[in-house]
Structure formats: structure tokens, C-alpha cells
């Protein structure tokens, strides 16, 4: 069990540091990272995208750039929610304490993250991102809790079927 706790701490701290790192990027750096990721996604999903003239590629990228940035916010906070839920789950927090700690911690971390962005050149804090981050965290927590519920119910059925 100690090994799992160490791994859970590493997972949680890694995601937290990644969020801090991304918030520390300047607007130009952040835009370049999301633009590069979007370019790779479009090459794989849009037939013939790589052969289009750069001007046409730029038009297509502009249409999806905001979406990829919001998806990144949501996704990394979903991972953060999963990692904190896993960590608290391993420390055997009660259900209510776990949910309140993760949601409270998620909201506080999202607010601090947006405030932190204000100190990065060209970045600003947006309340809409706090809500998006919080929603991602809640979905991540929900996914973990549903998967653990499914696992324990399946395990219980196997246990009872072996008794008979």
C-alpha cells in the first residue's frame, strides 16, 4: 500500500506542477504550444490538411485554436481531480470528506492558477476558466469514483460467486 501512496503522490504533484508550468508561460509561449498541438491534431484528423497552403492552414487553425485551449484546461484539471481523488482514496477519506476536499481544493487551485496567470506576460485571469477548470476537476473526480465503484461491485460479485 505504501508503494501505491508514493505513486499517487507523484501523480498528483506531477499534474500540479504541470498546471503551474503552463500558467507560467507567456501568452506567446502558450499560444505556440497550443498551436503546435492543434497542428498535429489537424494533420491526423483533417484529410489533406498538410498539403494545404499555409494561409489556408492558418484559417483552419484559427477556427479551432480556442477550442483546443479550453480542452487543455478541462483535461489537465480532470487529471488533477482524478489524481487528488486517488490520493485521498488511498488515505481512506470518508465519502463526504473526500468529495468536499477535492471540490474545495479544486476550486481553490483553479482560482490560484488564474491569479498566477496574471503575473505571466500577456496572460490574464478569466472567471470562465475557473469554472471550466472546476468542471474538469469534478468530471475527473466523478470518473475515478465511478470506476472505483464499478471495480468494487465487480470484485464483490466475484467474491460471492466463489463462496457458493
Question: What's the pLDDT at 164?
Answer: 47
Name the pTM for this structure: 0.84
Return the DSSP state at 94. -
Q: What is the pLDDT along the chain (164 residues), one digit of tens a residue?
A: 799 999 999 999 999 999 999 999 998 999 889 989 998 999 998 889 889 999 998 898 889 888 998 999 999 999 999 999 999 999 988 889 999 999 999 999 999 999 999 888 888 889 999 999 999 999 999 999 999 888 877 776 655 555 54
The domain segmentation of the chain, as residue ranges, is 2-163
Amino acid at each position: 500500500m505504501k508503494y501505491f501512496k508514493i505513486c499517487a503522490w507523484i501523480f498528483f504533484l506531477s499534474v500540479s506542477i504541470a498546471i503551474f508550468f503552463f500558467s507560467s508561460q507567456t501568452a506567446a509561449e502558450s499560444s505556440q504550444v497550443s498551436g503546435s498541438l492543434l497542428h498535429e491534431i489537424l494533420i491526423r484528423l483533417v484529410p489533406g490538411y498538410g498539403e494545404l497552403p499555409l494561409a489556408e492552414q492558418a484559417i483552419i487553425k484559427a477556427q479551432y485554436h480556442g477550442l483546443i485551449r479550453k480542452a487543455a484546461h478541462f483535461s489537465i484539471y480532470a487529471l488533477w481531480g482524478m489524481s487528488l481523488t486517488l490520493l485521498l482514496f488511498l488515505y481512506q477519506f470518508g465519502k463526504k470528506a473526500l468529495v468536499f476536499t477535492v471540490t474545495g481544493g479544486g476550486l481553490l487551485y483553479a482560482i490560484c492558477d488564474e491569479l498566477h496567470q496574471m503575473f505571466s506576460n500577456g496572460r490574464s485571469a478569466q472567471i470562465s476558466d475557473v469554472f471550466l477548470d472546476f468542471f474538469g476537476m469534478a468530471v475527473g473526480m466523478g470518473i475515478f469514483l465511478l470506476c472505483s465503484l464499478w471495480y468494487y461491485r465487480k470484485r464483490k460479485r466475484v467474491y460471492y460467486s466463489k463462496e457458493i
